[in-house]
Structure 1
Amino acid sequence: MSTAPPSAVLLIQTAFIGDVILATALLDHLHQTEPDTPVDFLVRKGNESLLQQHPHVRQVLVWDKKNSKYQGLWRLLQQIRAAHYGRVITLQRFASTGFLTAFSGAPERIGFQKNPFAFRFTRALPHVIEGGVHEVSRNLNLLDPEYRGPVVPPRLYPSPTDEAAAAPYTTQGPYLCIAPTSVWFTKQFPQDQWVKLLAALPTHYRVYLLGGPPDVEACEELLRASNRPNTVNLAGKLSLLASAVLMRGAVLNYVNDSAPMHLCSAVGAPTCAVYCSTVPYFGFGPLSPFARVVEIQGILRCRPCGLHGYRQCPLNHFHCAYGIETSQLLVVLAEAELQAASCKPQALSYKL
């Protein structure tokens, strides 16, 4: 007697790059627990390259939020309903993706309780930002409310093309990567702080500045301000996955609490995450085998000032960033050098 194939699953995450990267932990979990279940993934336009070559994704759906946003949302709903998914899971707490989930026609419609359309979900879970629970665990609980396993890192799969694009930069001797920008000002270590670090880094390291096309000018300004020899601006020159390949081979990657940190986690790249206004306690911290968080020492009463970053410091002093010492960043480099020599991974631990 033949058995009907399992109904497909649709995962929805149309937020920023880092959110999509963290969601890839669900893809590996589904592949391990339900290897025959087809999985599709809906992302915002611009993030599809992260998943188009992913071995555990059948199809990538794309929502263009910048052009005919709501017409596109309606067309997506028709596409989703026509696909007859068995489960639709939104990882976001916003009305738009809640709408797609609630009216998808899927027998199982899953999301967080804070979503405005949660009343039409078949299962709605709390999104708990306390106790150091990592976002990966929050997401995995949508798949399995009883999941209490390890906080598995996200995982991306660079293609041979991505590997080839990064290869010319990995053979120039030992190198470091710095991803100096962020979408949010208060998540971004200031330029003059990066300049101090660049001046203090050992001269035998080549330094690559990384970012997307919007970050080209900021990285060029940093390059001019530092005037450090053996420093190269690669912003806008590598794809996200090629950048991940480059970061994987670095002695250390200096990043903000932003997408490049999650890229590091997804390929196991050594990470020094600089936290300004936000804190790892929110559950978005690095998950690489070697990962260190650098933040201002001591208590700053105004920190954290919110779950997400701001366009400017609410108190106009930004002491959470300017209070970080260059020596703190150099200590992590020394640890990374020892780690590379010993090849004994150490991981940050998170509570479940």
Structure 2
Amino acid sequence: MDKILIVQTAFIGDAILASSLVQTVLRNRKDVELHLLVRKGNEGLFKNHPNIKKVWIWDKAKKYKSLFGLIPTIRKAKFDWIFCVQRFGTMGLLTTLSGAKKKVGFRKNPWALFFDFKIDHQIGDGTHEISRNAMLLTPWLGTQPTAEPPHLVIGEKELNKVRTYADEKEFICLFPASVWFTKQLPFEKWLELIAKHPDQKIYIMGAPGDKLLGDNLISQTQHKNIENLCGKLNLLESAALMTKARMNYVNDSAPLHLASATQSKVTAFFCSTIPQFGFGPTQPDAKIIETKTELKCRPCGLHGKKSCPEGHFKCGREIEVPTLKS
């Protein structure tokens, strides 16, 4: 039985996508002991997964102190294989010093020289991130596997928490916030979207820091049945509510991947980024909406920016928001 550690300590969305790698491992080999290393704050996503032996945690706030406290413990665990999904140096160093019999990671990692197997990672050709990540398993399996969809396990505790909200006959969920300005559908477009759904119960969703945005949307709409849930639900509870919604409207951000990992209905708005980067929804019935105008400046970056470099933000402002029927 191989003892395996998957390393993905990036943002929430990246951790959710790493669940695809977990599922791909399990589909190909049942006789494994599977461990996962994530950034502190993301561990709750995997607490219900029956096939993950242990979720290891790296505290980014304590960076190297946390890292060098973690490495000896990982070495003692004596892993057979370590798959480093992260392409940055900190986790490359951990992988190098992990003591695992076989170390696999992407060639772009600064520590790739010390990996036993180095895999190419190419963004922009339309390949989805879950397929790029699945390539890491090729040296272990002896063949390149097909990526399984991301998957999160929602428990009874999460379903019970959202039961009151989910009892509404019909409702939609809006996730209006993003860390990056140019990945966030403009405020006035969210108001327009709300106005196009007068007969639906609407929940505005997000983190505690998104509450003000939700309050501002509610204060500027005439909608009679809208509620701000920002900060009231954790990630798995939010995912539980998403599974019951008629539609979830999201930016190119973590809630998009929550929808993919729970097979929830989703409409994703892509402003400055493009689906061809490989971070779009994975479910076949998902809807992607982007500007119909050919803009020479789009995409302006892989992760979005704090402001529009051109000053006009046409990639967001020219998006046509839908109704449930469109």
Structure 1: which amino acid aligns with 2:144? Answer: Y
SS state at 2:2 partner: coil
SS state at 1:105 partner: coil
CA displacement at 1:227 relative to structure 2: 3.7
Change over 3 Å in CA distance of 1:158–1:232 after alignment to 2: same
CA displacement at 1:159 relative to structure 2: 1.2
Contact 1:272 1:292 in 2 (8 A): yes
Q: Structure 2: give runs of 5+ residues left out of the alignment.
A: none
Q: Following the alignment from structure 2 to structure 1, what is the Cα–Cα distance between the partners of residues 192 and 262?
A: 28
Of 182, 187, 190, the residue aligned with 2:186 is 190
Structure 2: which amino acid aligns with 1:131? Answer: D
Q: Following the alignment from structure 1 to structure 2, what is the Cα–Cα distance between the partners of residues 39 and 271?
A: 30
Confirm or deny that 1:277 pairs with 2:268: no
Q: Following the alignment from structure 2 to structure 1, what is the Cα–Cα distance between the partners of residues 171 and 75?
A: 49
Structure 2: which amino acid aligns with 1:42? Answer: L
Confirm or deny that 1:239 pairs with 2:234: yes
* TM-score for both structures, normalised by structure 2: 0.96
Contact 1:28 1:56 in 2 (8 A): no
Structure 2: which amino acid aligns with 1:179? Answer: F
Contact 2:24 2:145 in 1 (8 A): no
* TM-score for both structures, normalised by structure 1: 0.89
Q: Following the alignment from structure 2 to structure 1, what is the Cα–Cα distance between the partners of residues 185 and 153?
A: 29
Contact 1:216 1:236 in 2 (8 A): yes
Tell me the equivalent position of 1:168: 164
Q: Following the alignment from structure 2 to structure 1, what is the Cα–Cα distance between the partners of residues 73 and 210?
A: 34
Of 108, 113, 123, the residue aligned with 1:129 is 123
Contact 1:270 1:289 in 2 (8 A): no
Structure 2: which amino acid aligns with 1:251? Answer: R
Tell me the equivalent position of 2:243: 248
SS state at 1:226 partner: coil
Identity %: 43
Contact 1:153 1:265 in 2 (8 A): yes
Of 302, 306, 319, the residue aligned with 1:307 is 302
Q: Following the alignment from structure 1 to structure 2, what is the Cα–Cα distance between the partners of residues 36 and 152?
A: 18
Confirm or deny that 1:295 pairs with 2:286: no
Q: Following the alignment from structure 1 to structure 2, what is the Cα–Cα distance between the partners of residues 15 and 299?
A: 32
Q: Following the alignment from structure 2 to structure 1, what is the Cα–Cα distance between the partners of residues 283 and 165?
A: 22
| Residues 245-300 of structure 1: per-residue CA shift (max 9 Å, x gap) | 11111111100000000000011111100000000000000012420100000311
Structure 2: which amino acid aligns with 1:308? Answer: H
Report which stretch shifted further, 310-319 or 260-269: 310-319
Q: Following the alignment from structure 1 to structure 2, what is the Cα–Cα distance between the partners of residues 164 and 295?
A: 35
Confirm or deny that 1:29 pairs with 2:24: yes
Structure 2: which amino acid aligns with 1:190? Answer: P
Structure 2: which amino acid aligns with 1:125? Answer: I
CA displacement at 1:148 relative to structure 2: 5.2
Structure 1: which amino acid aligns with 2:5? Answer: L
